[in-house]
Structure 1
Amino acid sequence: MSSGKLLMVGAGLSGAVIGRYLAEQGYDISIVDARDHIAGNCYSKRDADTGVMVHVYGPHIFHTDDEEVWNYVNGFETFMPYKNRVKTTSGGAVYSLPVNLHTINQFYGKTMRPDEARAFIEEQADTTITEPQTFEDQALRFVGPDLYKAFFKGYTQKQWGCSPTELPASILKRLPVRFNYDDNYFFHRFQGMPENGYTVMVERILDHPNITVHLNTRFTRDQAAEYDHVFYSGPLDGWFDFDLGRLGYRTLDFERFTFEGDYQGCAVMNYGEEEVPFTRITEHKHFAPWESHEGSVCYREFSRAAEPDDIPYYPIRQVKEKELLGRYVERAAQTDGVTFVGRLGTYRYLDMDVTIREALDTARAFLDAREAGTKMPAFAVQPL
């Protein structure tokens, strides 16, 4: 067993998982978080009026092919079966996403078999585009103008706040189009929802005698001197007081409303048209189909550029941001005693399972470095 004082900045998945792993190895773990709750953006709580489990910062659906991570989360909470079946309203009709054989047949008023639909979509596609450079190129090449306009163009424009012609083709690397009737949004082997919400799961991860959690506590860099090492899951540019400029993010505004009964009959309804100002409506009781509630809690989601005081959700990672990121990464590499982790610390969009995988790997890398007497790097996973 080891000993030493370690600080986790952030009580989300990264800080909790790294903290728990190293606490079990005998380290004294302090966790600080500026918010008044644990679990970061996957924080969930029961609505007092309806009893519905609400995903406070937007829906989080657990899906992974990583068996170790699946076993890890199930060690702290029971995961109930859940399939994410997204619907979208476009042109006065409701369709299922991702675009599948039912979507295609419904949209075009046809009854095509898979091979017929493949050939038909290839006819719609713009085959003059041989090397798609932008999101729009990619979509036009693989589904053609009609499906692109109905399901991708407006939604993408609202989500990212710019024309799809300005976004890289990589966002649509593998365009989700299926030539069967499978409407499960994810391909992953393991999919589910925590029976009692993510907050309970994170509470249990943090429940160890070597872990102390301090909420409503802002981290300042001078605190680092009191610890043997810091694992920092705050914004990378925030560590350096944003002195080279701020990395760009999109944020979300949520418009909450309640409904007596069932508002939309599904958990997620997208709105693909540009004229509709919000990207989607989420109805949270449908994220726990094993429960039964009369009342309903819904949220309209609006995406916009994040201001300094907003919660950063999606890293933009365009050319300008990547250049600035490169400069911060260089600075971080020369900083001793801190490892930058998680979505904000590495300026990458990470699903929950990847966050947990990287946290486990980071904790193990720290132990290996200690044993070998070598320096723990600033990044266990390179951001660029």
Structure 2
Amino acid sequence: MMSKHCLMVGAGLSGAVIGRMLAEAGHRITIVDARAHVGGNCHTERDAETGVMVHIYGPHIFHTDDAEVWDYVNKFETFLPYKNRVKTTSQGAVYSLPVNLHTINQYFGQTLRPDEARVFLESKADTSITDPQTFEDQALRFVGPELYEAFFKGYTIKQWGCQPTDLPASILKRLPVRFNYDDNYFYHKFQGMPENGYTAMIEAILDHPGITVQLETTVSRDQAAQYDHVFYSGPIDGWFGYELGRLGYRTLDFERFDYQGDYQGCAVMNYGDVDVPYTRITEHKHFSPWESHEGSVLYREFSRACGPEDIPYYPIRMVAEKTLLQEYVDRAEAEANVTFVGRLGTYRYLDMDVTIREALDCGRRFLAAQAAGEKMPAFTVNPL
């Protein structure tokens, strides 16, 4: 198999994992990123004043049931135990999320057992909704009006910038209700945080003689054509110069503030009331519970529509966006020697473990295609 010179556009998880696999197979890899650091939105760095490990673009908590992915990340960085226990301030009180038996008993002033809580919540639900179509339908059918108003409605309006009646029911289906006292936000078998941050992990993945990294660098389509193959993890519409229009995203604004001591006693505090302008406050020293810091670094998060100069976070994927996405997918599939990967390249919300899984699969697909003399497809996962 002849060695290829491959370009990775983006030094986040997708580019790093694919690049490492191909470099280990003997290919020459160039990775470019417009930012001044590797890691994409997973980038972490130590705050100079407090020593706190800060998640610069918002918190990233690693959780997976994929044993291979868990073993992969632990090859490059030590992951220490971390459980994501989210709290929410709503209507003047603090509750645990996801909604669990404690939340239900606290909110309604009850002492229900699990079987009693199931019956009780079903009595609150709107059973006339047999086929929920919208977020609001699903919430009313699932938890009833009181819990919907307290924990879901206001937060959703702030997060998505529209009414819950305009969002599909599928968004809420990802939010569990538990009839026990388990307040761990995730169910996954493997959960943790990298001891030295995600950037250290990604730097270790990129530490290979076959990989060259160029930061604060952009590459045009014409320049990319000089490489044998391109793996593009930037916005799919950006590859085409937004010729057909821009896909919709939500972006985040972060308002940092410091505190001497412990500000909120937890890593994540949501704010469910719509009259509180931010969606949550994150206190970053709590993401590294094995460390001890007197000072604290916090961010208030504000969600809004993503403009041309903003960092895209959450793909909207409503009907209009999916229609436009189909047009860009058709164009992408007509491209030669370009594969679109990752959250932006496929216009899908992806957790870190899924991103790594897809990158591993993509790298293997490329190596298999090279060995068989076959063409590498534009997508290894259908974005639609």
Q: Give TM-score scaled by structure 2 length.
A: 0.99
Are 1:104 and 2:104 an aligned pair? yes
Are 1:35 and 2:35 an aligned pair? yes
- 1:141-160 to structure 2, matched below 5 A, reads 141-160=141-160
Are 1:371 and 2:375 an aligned pair? no
- Give the C-alpha shift of residue 189 in structure 1: 0.2
Q: Where in structure 2 are there 5+ consecutive unaligned residues?
A: none
CA distance in 2, matches of 1:278, 1:260: 22
1:168-220 CA distances to partner (integer Å, 9 max, x unpaired)?
A: 00111254100000000000000000000000000000000000000000121
- Give the C-alpha shift of residue 380 in structure 1: 0.6
Are 1:162 and 2:162 an aligned pair? yes
User: Which residue is equivalent to 2:134?
Assistant: 134
Tell me, yes or no, if the aligned pair for 2:98 and 2:175 is still in contact at 8 Å: no
- Give the C-alpha shift of residue 371 in structure 1: 1.1
User: Which residue is equivalent to 2:171?
Assistant: 171
Q: Secondary structure at the match of 1:281?
A: strand
- Give the C-alpha shift of residue 2 in structure 1: 4.5
Tell me, yes or no, if the aligned pair for 1:142 and 1:175 is still in contact at 8 Å: no
- 1:8-27 to structure 2, matched below 5 A, reads 8-27=8-27
Read off the aligned partner of 2:252 and give its amino acid letter: L
Q: Give TM-score scaled by structure 1 length.
A: 0.99
Are 1:60 and 2:92 an aligned pair? no
Read off the aligned partner of 1:182 and give its amino acid letter: D
- Give the C-alpha shift of residue 273 in structure 1: 0.5
CA distance in 2, matches of 1:174, 1:121: 18
Q: What is the aligned-residue identity percentage? A: 78
- Give the C-alpha shift of residue 225 in structure 1: 2.1
CA distance in 2, matches of 1:351, 1:174: 13
CA distance in 2, matches of 1:256, 1:223: 38
4+ residue runs of structure 1 moved beyond 4 angstroms?
Answer: none
1:107-145 CA distances to partner (integer Å, 9 max, x unpaired)?
A: 001100001110000000000000000000000001000
Read off the aligned partner of 1:332 and give its amino acid letter: A
CA distance in 2, matches of 1:369, 1:4: 12
Q: Residues 174, 308 of structure 1: CA spacing in aligned structure 2 closer, same or farther, 3 A cutoff?
A: closer
Count the aligned residue pairs: 384
CA distance in 2, matches of 1:174, 1:269: 19
- Give the C-alpha shift of residue 373 in structure 1: 1.0
Read off the aligned partner of 2:243 and give its amino acid letter: D
CA distance in 1, matches of 2:132, 2:56: 37
CA distance in 1, matches of 2:142, 2:244: 40
Task: Give the aligned CA root-mean-square deviation in angstroms.
Answer: 0.6
CA distance in 2, matches of 1:325, 1:122: 39
Q: Secondary structure at the match of 1:75?
A: helix
User: Which residue is equivalent to 1:280?
Assistant: 280
